[in-house]
Each structure stands twice: as C-alpha cells, then as structure tokens.
Chain A
Amino acid sequence: MSTRVDIVLDRPRQPSEHQILNMGPQHPSTHGVLRIVLEVDGEMVVKATPVVGYLHRAMEKIAESMTFHQFLPYTDRLDYLAPLANNVALTCAQEKLCGIELPPRAQAIRVMCCEISRISAHLLGLGAFAMDVGAMTVFLWTFRERETLYNLIEHLSGARFTTSYTRVGGVAHDIPEGFLSELRRFLDGFPARVDEYERLLTRNRIWVERTRDVGVITKEDAISYGLTGPNLRASGVEWDLRVKRPYLGYQDYRFDVPVGSVGDCYDRYLCRIEEMRQSREILRQVADTLPDGPVLAPDTHVSLPAKSETLKGMEELIYQFILITEGQDAPVGESYFAAENPKGELGFYFRSRGGGYPDRMFIRAPSFVNLQILEKVLPGGFVSDVVAVLGSIDFVMGECDR
C-alpha cells in the first residue's frame, strides 16, 4: 500500500497568497454584463469588487433633450424584465410633477400592468436563480408561465417587451376584448404552478443547502446599504411602497407583504414566491372590480386627445400638435416619485425649469443600489456561493447601468 506524499513547495506557502479571479462580464450567472473581481484564498472569497457600467447608455443625459412621451420607450430598456412596470413608474412620476389626476379605470389598468410585470419578473428571477444553483427544470417551467404572460402583454400593448403602454394621464388604449377572460384563465391556474415550483425547491435538500444561511444580509446592513424590494423585506424590514405610500389606488386591494427573518438567499427566494401569490391575489381583485370609464384624463391640456377627435375638432388638433411637439408644460421646481417595482424602489427625481423637457431627470435604479451589498456579503463565502447570492439578489444590468 502506497503512502500519500505531501506536495513540497520550493518556497514556504504565504498565508496571504490570494488569487484574483475575474468573474464576468460574460459569466452566465451575472445575467447580463456584471463583472466581479474576486480575491480568493482557495475556495473562499476574501474580497469582492463589483464592476458595473458595461451597459451604460446615458439615459439621464438623453432625457434632458426629450419630452416625457419621447422618453417613455427608453424605460422599456431599464428593467427589461418588467417594462410595463417601468412605463407606469415614469408616467406616474410625470403626473406627480405636473399634478395630473388619473381616471379610476386607468389606475386599475396600471395596477394590472404592475402586477403582471411583477409575476413575470419574479418568475424569471426564480428560474435563473434555480438554474444557476443547478435546478434546470424550474427555469423551463417558469418560462412556460412567462410565455402565457408575454402573450397577455402582447395582447394588451401590442408588443412583448417594448411595451410603451402608458401615457401621461392614463394608458394608450383600453384593454382589448377578451383580455380579462384570458387573464382570469391564467390566474386560475397559477397557484397550482407556484405549488409545483415549491415542490421542486422549498424542501429540496440540495436547494436548501445551497441557499440557507448563505449570503446573510442583516437588517442593519440592508437599511444602511439602501436595499429595497424583496431583498430588503427578506432581511426582516416591512417596507413596501404599495402599502406605505399607496399610489394608483393600491389601498383598495387586500394583499399581504411577505417579510423574511434571516435575510439569507432562502428567505429572498421565499419572499419572491409569496409575492407572486400576492400579486395574483391583487390581479384577481382588479379583474373583479375594474371600473368603467375613460382610460385617459379628460383634460386635453395634459393628456393626448382621442385620435378620432383630433380628426374632427380644431381645439383637439391644436393640443395634439402641441403635446407631441412641445410636451406637457411642467411647473418649475422639483419632485420625486418612487414606485415599488419587482426589483425594488424605482424612483424618478425631476428638476424642471418649465416647458416640456426636464432640466434634470435622475433615475433611482434599485438594481444599482442593491448590487453594492455584494462587497459586503460575498467575502467569507465560497466561490460557488457567489452564484447563489447573485441569483437571490435578482438584478438587471439594464437598470443598474442605465
């Protein structure tokens, strides 16, 4: 029987002998173009430096020479997994700046947009997270439901990804015929689907061992690092803008806000699962109580007049022309609006000097702020945990880099 021979180095091994491991920007688990420079000691991460900006498109600069409506398609490319929710957030921010009231039907349709987006974004977040950790099936199953949702979105807005569905003062057009029954059919089947995902993961030993007590974010860190969305709630902070500062009539719908206790990857997973169920609950209530009425504010000084009217009336034609060429005349001053998007708080800060163009528009992108926690949470874990943490933070680089 042979004896094991230790490897003899020609020089003494230094305890500080760390390797630099470059992860990304093309790594599959970075969901886009995030790069992380890892300093590793064997399998352990000692230091992590995220490098962002590969997808920077100077959206804030572009916005300064555009009317609000012209900028709307750019929001499709922010968090490109929830374009409808971005459309809603931008137009709500503009309406807050200009002081515009929405008709009830438009509000309800927007709530529907937000919640469809939330389910769709969480499904992709969950699927990609599971695939990165080795559970391929979940990814394929979540894409089955996303396909249904994308068909719904296409039916609603005419496009699957680049929706640009909202308008200042409402939405582009009313929901199409048959949309509600399609939505109801999806909602009826959805809880069983979520149960299927849970059967694959929640008590799956491999999944639990890969995620439980991995990437723990304490309550204090979550607040200090400015986390928002499910990442903040998984750390035990009950903060949801839909409840704390209801917009679009969210106060009229009954739903729960799931909150985690430990703040590890497993809690973030559980929070997203439950949020999908709650979003389905909201959607069901919206579908049942959808009010009748116009879908655009009737004031033609701020919202586009109906196309049929512009072809007949002088006044409508003039305002159509002014709104398209010069934009909504915003008052002088500043305002900030934040919406609870799937990834967290998407905020728009406007500084206006009057006229149809914002003097400055700042996009508070949840993915940008959330990613900073990597510097804190990755060191001390294994390299393989990096993948689990990235999946559980659920970021989108289009929004992070803007």
Chain B
Amino acid sequence: MSGLPEPLAALVDELPDGVRAVEDLRGEPAFEAAPGAARDPIRRLKGEGFGFLYLLTAVDNYPGEPRFEVVYGVRSLDRNLDVRLNVPLHSAAAAVPTVTDLFAAAGWMEREVYDMFGIRFTGHPNLTRILMWEGFTGWPLRKDYPLLGDTPGTAGHVGKGHKR
C-alpha cells in the first residue's frame, strides 16, 4: 500500500496472513483481518507503540455474512497516529479473543459490545452485561432487534433507516 504512513507500511508485511490494508473514507489507515483473527494483529500493533485503545465497537451487517465486524482503534501517542482494525465474524462463531490483557480500557468496552451485540470475548475476566440490566434477554443493537417493543418480527422490526 502506498498510502500508509511509515511505521504501518513497514509493519504490513509482518502482519499475520489474511490481514490487508484498507483505507476509510477520509484516507485514514485501517486494516482488515481474517474472520476471528483479532489478537495477533492487535498484539503486533501494540508492540509497535500503539498502546492506546481509543475505540472498540462492533457493526451488524444483517442479513449479510460475515454478519458482524468488531472494530478496534489503536493509537500511538508518540507518533500521533491512529489505525483501525476491522475483524469480520460469522454469526455462527460470534466470538473473538479478549484484548483486556493488552489494554485495561478494553474491559468495559468489550462488555459493552457483548451487551449490545452478543459477541463473546473469550478469556474476558468478567463478561457480563454493563448498560442493560442483569436478566435482560436479547441483543439490542443487532439489526433484527426491534426499535419498538421487544418481539423480533413485529412492527418496528428494523428501523425506518433500513428501508433502502
């Protein structure tokens, strides 16, 4: 990739198989990993000085497959450089290894993704709901969770924004 800034351009060849460089809409660097393979690239990036996790969230591509994407954003404070890593996940295996041992910030962020999308983070020390209450069923930010009511398939099944 020609558009990558220096430390990332050197890094991209050493990243594990299946990781490829992409660019977002505004030309900021991002990587896309093979399904489920989040940990190795993240650890590699952390070793290169990207020690600040600023973003950890997920996207639901319902009804497409791979259905989910976990989005990691790591930052190097010294180089003033951000890079994001998108990790696609098939709905049959909606789990990724945790990065809580690398970034303490991931503790709550991963719990939030679990709470909202039902994506499991294997090895997380306390993977429980955080914003919703204990005992709540369903994964609110999934696209098949209704905007109104709590029964999938009823009125407001998907928001009006999904009429295309």
CB of A360 within 8 A of CB of B24, answer no
Residue from B77, B84, B105, B107 in contact with A239 in the complex, judged by beta carbons closer than 8 Å: B77
Contact with A along B1-34 (1 / 0, CB 8 A): 0000000000000000000000011101010000
Known: A53-B131, A53-B133. A226 touches B24 (CB 8 A): no
CB of B25 within 8 A of CB of A226, answer no
Residue from A53, A245, A371 in contact with B132 in the complex, judged by beta carbons closer than 8 Å: A53
Residue from A336, A345, A351, A372 in contact with B59 in the complex, judged by beta carbons closer than 8 Å: A351
CB of A360 within 8 A of CB of B55, answer no
Which chain B residues border A52 with CB–CB below 8 Å? 130-131
Q: Interface stretch among B37-45, B87-95, B156-164?
A: B156-164
CB of A334 within 8 A of CB of B24, answer yes
A353 closest partner in B (C-beta): B164
Q: Which of B90-128 contact A (CB under 8 A)?
A: 103-105, 107-109, 112, 116
Q: Which of A338-394 contact B (CB under 8 A)?
A: 338, 345, 347, 349, 351-353, 355, 357-360, 362, 364, 368-369, 371-372, 375-376
Distance of A338 Cα from B108 Cα, bound (Å): 19
The count of residues in chain B whose C-beta lies closer than 8 Å to any C-beta of chain A is 41
CB of A65 within 8 A of CB of B161, answer yes
CB of A349 within 8 A of CB of B55, answer yes
Which chain A residues border B164 with CB–CB below 8 Å? 353, 355
- Is A144 part of the binding interface, using a Cβ–Cβ cutoff of 8 Å? no
Distance of A163 Cα from B107 Cα, bound (Å): 34
CB of A61 within 8 A of CB of B147, answer yes
Within the complex, what minimum Cβ distance (angstroms) separates B61 from chain A? Answer: 8
CB of A333 within 8 A of CB of B24, answer yes
Which chain B residues border A244 with CB–CB below 8 Å? 80
Within the complex, what minimum Cβ distance (angstroms) separates B155 from chain A? Answer: 13
Known: A64-B159, A223-B77. A335 touches B131 (CB 8 A): no
Which chain B residues border A364 with CB–CB below 8 Å? 54-55
CB of B84 within 8 A of CB of A336, answer yes
- Is B36 part of the binding interface, using a Cβ–Cβ cutoff of 8 Å? no
Within the complex, what minimum Cβ distance (angstroms) separates A318 from chain B? Answer: 21
- Is A28 part of the binding interface, using a Cβ–Cβ cutoff of 8 Å? no
Distance of A359 Cα from B161 Cα, bound (Å): 8
The count of residues in chain A whose C-beta lies closer than 8 Å to any C-beta of chain B is 50
CB of B25 within 8 A of CB of A335, answer yes
- Is A329 part of the binding interface, using a Cβ–Cβ cutoff of 8 Å? no
- Is A324 part of the binding interface, using a Cβ–Cβ cutoff of 8 Å? no
Within the complex, what minimum Cβ distance (angstroms) separates A349 from chain B? Answer: 6
Within the complex, what minimum Cβ distance (angstroms) separates B35 from chain A? Answer: 18
Distance of A376 Cα from B105 Cα, bound (Å): 11
Distance of A333 Cα from B69 Cα, bound (Å): 13
20 A–B pairs (Cβ distance < 8 Å), ordered by A: A53-B131, A60-B116, A60-B141, A61-B145, A64-B147, A64-B162, A221-B104, A223-B51, A223-B77, A245-B80, A334-B24, A335-B24, A336-B24, A345-B54, A352-B25, A353-B164, A362-B71, A372-B108, A376-B104, A401-B131
Question: Hey, which bits of chain A sit against chain B, CB under 8 A?
Answer: 52-53, 56, 58, 60-62, 64-66, 96-97, 99, 221, 223-226, 228, 237, 239, 244-245, 331, 333-336, 338, 345, 347, 349, 351-353, 355, 357-360, 362, 364, 368-369, 371-372, 375-376, 401-402
Given contacts A53-B129, A245-B80, A334-B84, 4 further A-B contacts (CB under 8 A): A64-B161, A226-B54, A357-B162, A360-B60
